[in-house]
Amino acid sequence: MTPEFVVEFAKQAITLTIYLSMPMLGLGLIAGLIVSVFQAVTQIQEMTLTFVPKIIAVFLGLLFAAPWMLEQLTSFTVHVFESIPMYIR
- Phi/psi of residue 56, nearest 5 degrees: -65, -45
Mean pLDDT by 10 residues, the chain (89 residues): 84 95 94 92 84 93 95 94 82
What was the pLDDT predicted at 59? 95
What was the pLDDT predicted at 86? 81
Closest CA to 76 of 19, 4, 2, 3: 19
Number of domains in the chain: 1
What was the pLDDT predicted at 5? 81
pTM tops 0.85: no
What was the pLDDT predicted at 35? 92
Q: What angle do CA 24, 71, 86 make, to 5 degrees?
A: 120
From the number of C-beta atoms within 10 Å of its C-beta (0-12, 13-18, 19+), residue 59 rates as exposed
Range of the domain at 64: 3-87
